[in-house]
């Protein structure tokens, strides 16, 4: 396995926790659905990628309102890079009721920088609303015009996953990974320049389902929100390869978080076909064909539900 790029999810400083909670609840009152009281030790003091996942105490979730269109500004990047980011960010909208509008002028809820420093990161969900307008809420730090599509896909979908409220898969409550801590500390110190506190924050720290109000599925090693775990990272030989696309669990989970509205009955049409209306009941026919006309214009072929009501034997 080649050296994996390291993504970081950024956490807010303690003094911003109240403002972030207010922003989350104003944006989406359902963020309070899984409320629980903060832990006695309160909010972690550190901010940025060195903070703890509990830096907000997470008494609310950070999901946007379902159906929301988030404005996205791209602060740099070549035309090729910008086009690829737009292409792969839209993957989430194919499976969830959350959308991105790429705008030439700010304001924008998601502001993407392209500082070529080998680091890609994003704030999580509605935390983006608390970031100063002059600052980016995401950075894509290694894209060039010759970056392979797999890398564009993997990193863009992953970072926009953070932007719509998803956390790292290895930090979700159901992850049970036996880390070789000394090996991982050394690896990230050498390859990413991370301190032990940053490794603790980005790799080892784990959310608690009750304390942190995290809704999750079973651990999914194929999730786009799980970056590679190379050989040597674990004491039992567990590894994760390159995840370039949404997994089946990703699709199911994000569809639950951002559900599409139920289909209106007014948009449904029904029709029935009875073979006895086109031939005599006592005379068989080779082709029992009928035409059913529907009246609502549709831009593309609709989904059809077919059934047999009865047999006349």
| Within a domain: 18 | yes
Question: Looking at residues 112-116, what average pLDDT do you find?
Answer: 96
User: Which pTM value belongs to this model?
Assistant: 0.76
For residue 264, the 8-state DSSP code is P
| Within a domain: 279 | no
pLDDT above 50 (res 43): no
| Within a domain: 152 | yes
| Within a domain: 233 | yes
**pLDDT tens for each residue of 188-237:** 999 888 899 999 988 998 887 766 666 677 889 999 999 889 999 999 99
Question: Looking at residues 170-184, what average pLDDT do you find?
Answer: 92
| Within a domain: 262 | no
pLDDT above 70 (res 34): no
| Within a domain: 265 | no
pLDDT of residue 55: 31
CA distance 313 to 112: 66
Q: How confident is the model at residue 29 (pLDDT cuts 50, 70, 90)?
A: confident
pLDDT of residue 262: 81
How many domains does the chain contain in total?
1
CA distance 210 to 214: 7
| Within a domain: 88 | yes
- CATH code of residue 148: 3.40.390.10
Question: Looking at residues 298-309, what average pLDDT do you find?
Answer: 70
pLDDT of residue 35: 38
* Residue found under tokens 């669990």: 249
Q: How confident is the model at residue 74 (pLDDT cuts 50, 70, 90)?
A: very high
CA distance 135 to 264: 41
| Within a domain: 270 | no
For residue 69, the 8-state DSSP code is E
Is 269 within 8 Å of 295 (Cβ atoms)? Answer: yes
Question: Looking at residues 129-138, what average pLDDT do you find?
Answer: 97
> Rounded mean pLDDT of the chain?
82
The residue range of the domain holding 161 is 7-257
Question: Looking at residues 272-289, what average pLDDT do you find?
Answer: 59
Lowest mean pLDDT among 8-12, 59-63, 108-112, 176-180: 59-63
State the DSSP string of 172-219. Answer: STT----B-HHHHHHHHHHHT---HHHHIIIII----TTTTT----S-
pLDDT of residue 57: 32
Lowest mean pLDDT among 14-18, 51-55, 308-312: 51-55
User: Tokens standing for 213?
Assistant: 């109000």
pLDDT of residue 272: 62
């Amino acid at each position: 396995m080649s050296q994996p790029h390291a993504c970081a999810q950024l956490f807010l400083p303690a003094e911003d926790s109240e403002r972030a909670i207010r922003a989350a609840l104003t944006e989406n009152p359902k963020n309070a659905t899984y409320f629980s009281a903060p832990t006695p030790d309160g909010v972690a003091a550190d901010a940025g990628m060195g903070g703890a996942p509990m830096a907000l105490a997470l008494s609310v979730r950070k999901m946007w309102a379902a159906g929301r269109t988030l404005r996205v500004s791209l602060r740099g990047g070549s035309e090729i890079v910008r086009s690829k980011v737009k292409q792969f960010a839209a993957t989430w909208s194919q499976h969830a009721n959350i959308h991105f509008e790429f705008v030439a002028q700010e304001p924008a809820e998601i502001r993407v920088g392209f500082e070529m420093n080998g680091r890609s990161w994003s704030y999580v969900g509605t935390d983006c609303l608390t970031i100063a307008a002059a600052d980016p809420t995401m950075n894509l730090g290694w894209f060039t015009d010759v970056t392979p599509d797999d890398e564009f896909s993997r990193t863009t979908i992953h970072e926009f996953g953070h932007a719509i409220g998803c956390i790292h898969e290895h930090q979700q409550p159901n992850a049970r990974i036996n880390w070789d801590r000394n090996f991982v500390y050394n690896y990230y110190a050498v390859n990413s320049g991370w301190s032990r506190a940053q490794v603790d924050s980005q790799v080892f720290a784990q959310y608690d389902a009750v304390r942190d109000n995290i809704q999750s599925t079973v651990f999914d090693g194929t999730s786009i929100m799980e970056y590679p775990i190379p050989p040597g990272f674990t004491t039992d030989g567990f590894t994760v390869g390159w995840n370039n696309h949404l997994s089946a669990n990703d699709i199911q989970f994000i569809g639950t978080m951002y559900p599409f509205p139920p289909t209106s009955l007014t948009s449904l049409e029904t029709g029935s076909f009875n073979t006895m209306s086109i031939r005599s009941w006592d005379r068989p026919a080779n082709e029992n064909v009928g035409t059913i006309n529907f009246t609502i214009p549709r831009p593309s072929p609709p989904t059809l539900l077919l059934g047999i009501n009865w047999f006349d034997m």
